[in-house]
Structure 1
Amino acid sequence: MGRRTITVHHVRAALGGARRLGIDTVPLLQTARIPPLLLADDRARVTPEQFTSLVKALHRATRDEFLGLGPTPSRNGTFAMMCSACLGCRDLGAALERGVRFYGLFPGGPDLAVERRGAEAVFTVRNDLRGYAEGRFLAECLVIVWHRLASWLIGRRIALRWAEFAFPAPPYAGEYGLLFGCPVRFGARRTGAGFDAHWLAAPVVRDEAGLAELLRRAPADLLSRREYGTTVAEQVRRAFVTALREGRRPARLPEVAQVAARLAMSPATLRRRLQEEGTSYRLLRDGVLRDAAISGLAAGREPIAELAARLGFSEDTAFHRAFRRWTGTTPGTYRLLGTAAGEGKGPLQRGQQS
C-alpha cells in the first residue's frame, strides 16, 4: 500500500512499440492483469505491480530493451554491459560520462549528454525522437532510468531540481511533477533534467553482486515511481499513507491542521506551499484513497464493502460515487474487468461459459 497508481496514458505509450512491430498486445495486457477495455478511458489507472508486469512482458515480446519504442532496437544485455562498465569508475561524473560514450557506439541509439553548468549537472536526450509515435515516452523513460541508475550507483537519493520536455504539455501534464518529483516545463528544446553538480563527485559504491540484483528487476523496477521526501506534497502524502497503514477501521486520515503541525507550519502556509507545487490537501487525499482502492480491487481478496469501510467511507454509495469520479467506472466493474483479464477472457466470454 502507498505506491502511486499509473495513468492509462503511460500504459498506452508503453504498448506503442509492440503495436508498431505487429505484436498482439492483448495477451501482454492479460499477463499483467490489465483489462484491455480500461485503455479506452482516459481516467483509468493501473497499479505499479500491473505496470511492472506489462513492461517485463513487453521486454520479452519485443526482445528490445527500448520496448520497440525507438528508431533502432537495443539488444538484450546492452544495458547490463553499460552498467558493468560504469562500476569501475571513481565517481558518478565519470560513470555517467562512460555510459554516455557507451551508447554513442551504437548507430541509431540514443544521443545522450551529461554536462556541468555551474552549480548544476544536466542530463539531456539530444536526438529528436518526436518523429516516432511514442518517441517522447522513450525520451521520458531514458531520463527516468538514468536518474534512478545514478542514484543507485552512489547509493544515495539524488533529488532533481527540474525536468523539461521537448513537447507541448499533454492533458495529463499533472502526472509529471509526481513522476519526477520536481518542477517541470514543457515546450523545451530538449528533454532532460538537472540536479546539484556536487553529486558528480560522489564515489561509485556498487559492485557486481549488487548489479546482478539490479538487473534481475530491470527494466521495470527502474521505471517505477520513487518518492524522495523533498517536497511538501510528498510529506503530506506520506502522512496519509501512514494513517492507512495503521489499519484502523474506518481509516482516520489527518486533517489539514494536524498535518501542518507535524510539518511545523501553519495550515495557511501548508495550503500555500501545496498550491505552489500544483496540488492541494484534497487532491493529495483523494489520490491516496484512489490508489489504495485500485490496489485493493486489483488484489481481489477484500470484499468491496469492507474495502470501502477500511478507507473511511461511511456508506458503500459514497465509495462508489468517489471511485467513479476518480476512474470513470464503478468498483465492481473494475474488479470484474481485472478478473477477466487475469483469466484471459472478456466479460462476454465469461458470461457465455457460465
Structure 2
Amino acid sequence: MSGRTVTVHCVRAALGGAQRLGIDTVPLLQEARIAPLLLGDEQARVTPEQFARLVRGLHRATGDEFLGLGTAPSRPGTFAMMCHACIGCRDLGAALERAARFYGLFPGGPDLVLERHGGEAVFALRSDLRERAEGRFLAECLMVVWHRLASWLIGRRIALHWTAFAHAAPPYAADHGPMFGCPVRFGAERTGAGFDARWLSAPVVRDEAGVTELLRRAPAELLSRREYGTTVAEQVRRSFLRALREGRPARLPEVAQIAERLAVSPATLRRRLQAEGTSYRRLVDQVRREAALAGLAEGREPIAELAVRLGFSEDTAFHRAFRRWTGTTPGAYRGYRGQQI
C-alpha cells in the first residue's frame, strides 16, 4: 500500500482513547514500528502502513472499533455487520440510510443522518463529540470512513463539494484538504459533508466476496490509505510514483509530459490542479517527502542511495529538503527507530 504519510498529531490522537483507558501504548507503538520518541517531534510523520498497524493494535487492545475514542465502545464485528447490511441495498442512498439506522440502534453510537437539499446531499453527524479531545478525532475518522466506504460501494470516487467539522481546527488541519479533496472548514454548526445528490441513485456494485476482502483490511486501511478513485492530482502522483519505481535516479515527468499523457494542455493541467488545491511543484515535494519517510522507516537503504533514488542531484540538496519537511536530518530521523523511552 502506498499513500500519503500521516502526521504524528494523528498518531497521538489515535492513542488518546487507549491512554484514557490506562492501556500501555508503548508496546502498541513498537508493534507498529513507530518509535515512541517520534511522538515528541512536532513535524514527524509515519507511513500509512505504520498507522494501519497501530490502528489494528488499538482495536485489539481496547476491544473497541472506535479505539476508546467515543462515549461508548463499538464491539468488534459491528462495522462488518453494517457493511453486510449495506450491500443488499439497491443504490447508494438506500445504503447510507441503512448505515445511519444501523448505528442508531446502539446506545452511545454515532447519530448519523443523510439529508437532501435540492441538488445536494449531506451526510452528517448529529452527535456532538467535542466534550473530549478524543471525540474530535473520532468525528474526523467517521467522515473519512463513510466517504471511502460509500465510494467503494459504488465502485467510483464520490467528489465532495465541502466537508465541515464542528470542532476547532486541529494542528494537522492542513492535511484535511488533500484527504477529502474539497474545501474543509472548522468551527461549523455540525460535522458533515456535501456532494451531488445524483450519486445517491448510483447502484451498489459490491457483493459478499468483496465485503470479505474489504474487511480483511478495514477499517484500519480505510483510515490510512488514499481516497478511493482518481482525481487529476492522483493521476499526477501516480506518474511520479511510477518514475520513482522505475528509475535510479528518478526522472520525474515534467508538466508538459504529464499533460500530454492526460490529453490536455499544460495550462489546463495547472488550472485543474489549482482547482483541487495543489500544484505540480507541491505534488513533487509531497511524493518525495513520503518516499523519503517510507525509505527511512524501512531502514534498509543507505541515505545516499535514497537521495539518488528520489532524484536529488546531491546529498546536500536532499538533506536541505528533508530538514524543511521535518525539522531534522535523515540520519536523526532514522535514529528514532532504534530508540525507546
1:180-233 per-position Cα deviation (integer Å, ceiling 9, x unaligned) = 122222221111112222222222232222222222212201212324565443
Within the alignment, does 1:307 sit opposite 2:306 as a pair?
yes
Structure 1 counterpart of 2:252: 253
- What is the distance in 1 between the residues matched to 2:167 and 2:123? 17
- Residues 89 and 275 of structure 1, relative CA distance in 2, 3 Å threshold: closer
- Residues 55 and 281 of structure 1, relative CA distance in 2, 3 Å threshold: same
CA drift of 1:272 comes to: 4.8
State the SS of the aligned residue for 1:258. Answer: helix
- What is the distance in 2 between the residues matched to 1:30 and 1:107? 34
CA drift of 1:87 comes to: 2.6
Structure 1 counterpart of 2:38: 38
Structure 1 counterpart of 2:169: 169
Gapped runs of 5+ residues in structure 1?
A: 347-354
State the SS of the aligned residue for 2:305. Answer: helix
Mean alpha-carbon deviation: is it higher for 273-282 or for 237-246?
273-282
Kept after mapping to 1: 8 A contact 2:148/2:227: no
Q: Which amino acid aligns with 2:130?
A: R
What pairs up with 1:81-96 in 2 under 5 angstroms? 81-96=81-96
CA drift of 1:154 comes to: 2.4
Kept after mapping to 2: 8 A contact 1:2/1:241: no
Q: Which amino acid aligns with 2:257?
A: Q
Structure 1 counterpart of 2:110: 110
Q: What root-mean-square deviation, in Å, do the aligned CA atoms of Structure 1 and Structure 2 show?
A: 2.1
- What is the distance in 1 between the residues matched to 2:240 and 2:80? 38
Kept after mapping to 2: 8 A contact 1:177/1:184: yes
Q: Which amino acid aligns with 2:281?
A: R
1:158-178 per-position Cα deviation (integer Å, ceiling 9, x unaligned) = 222221111233343221111
Structure 2 counterpart of 1:337: 336
Gapped runs of 5+ residues in structure 2?
A: none
Within the alignment, does 1:290 sit opposite 2:299 as a pair?
no
CA drift of 1:234 comes to: 2.9
What pairs up with 1:259-278 in 2 under 5 angstroms? 259-264=258-263, 267=266, 270-278=269-277
- What is the distance in 1 between the residues matched to 2:97 and 2:144? 17
Kept after mapping to 2: 8 A contact 1:116/1:197: yes
Mean alpha-carbon deviation: is it higher for 103-112 or for 185-194?
185-194
Q: How many residues align?
A: 341
Kept after mapping to 1: 8 A contact 2:156/2:229: no
- What is the distance in 1 between the residues matched to 2:77 and 2:242? 39
- Residues 41 and 159 of structure 1, relative CA distance in 2, 3 Å threshold: same
- Residues 151 and 230 of structure 1, relative CA distance in 2, 3 Å threshold: closer
- Residues 290 and 22 of structure 1, relative CA distance in 2, 3 Å threshold: same
- What is the distance in 2 between the residues matched to 1:278 and 1:93? 28
Structure 2 counterpart of 1:7: 7
Kept after mapping to 2: 8 A contact 1:2/1:288: no
- What is the distance in 1 between the residues matched to 2:9 and 2:70? 18
What pairs up with 1:121-140 in 2 under 5 angstroms? 121-140=121-140
- What is the distance in 2 between the residues matched to 1:228 and 1:83? 16
What pairs up with 1:135-284 in 2 under 5 angstroms? 135-227=135-227, 231-246=231-246, 248-264=247-263, 267=266, 270-284=269-283
1:233-274 per-position Cα deviation (integer Å, ceiling 9, x unaligned) = 33333332222122x221111233434444455555544554
Mean alpha-carbon deviation: is it higher for 208-217 or for 68-77?
208-217
- What is the distance in 2 between the residues matched to 1:199 and 1:142? 19
- What is the distance in 2 between the residues matched to 1:106 and 1:2? 35
CA drift of 1:118 comes to: 1.8
Within the alignment, does 1:97 sit opposite 2:105 as a pair?
no
State the SS of the aligned residue for 1:217. Answer: coil
Mean alpha-carbon deviation: is it higher for 64-73 or for 194-203?
194-203
- Residues 256 and 305 of structure 1, relative CA distance in 2, 3 Å threshold: same
Structure 1 counterpart of 2:327: 328
Q: Which amino acid aligns with 1:101?
A: R
State the SS of the aligned residue for 2:156. Answer: coil
Kept after mapping to 1: 8 A contact 2:103/2:110: yes
CA drift of 1:134 comes to: 1.7
1:60-102 per-position Cα deviation (integer Å, ceiling 9, x unaligned) = 0010010000011111111122222223222221121111111
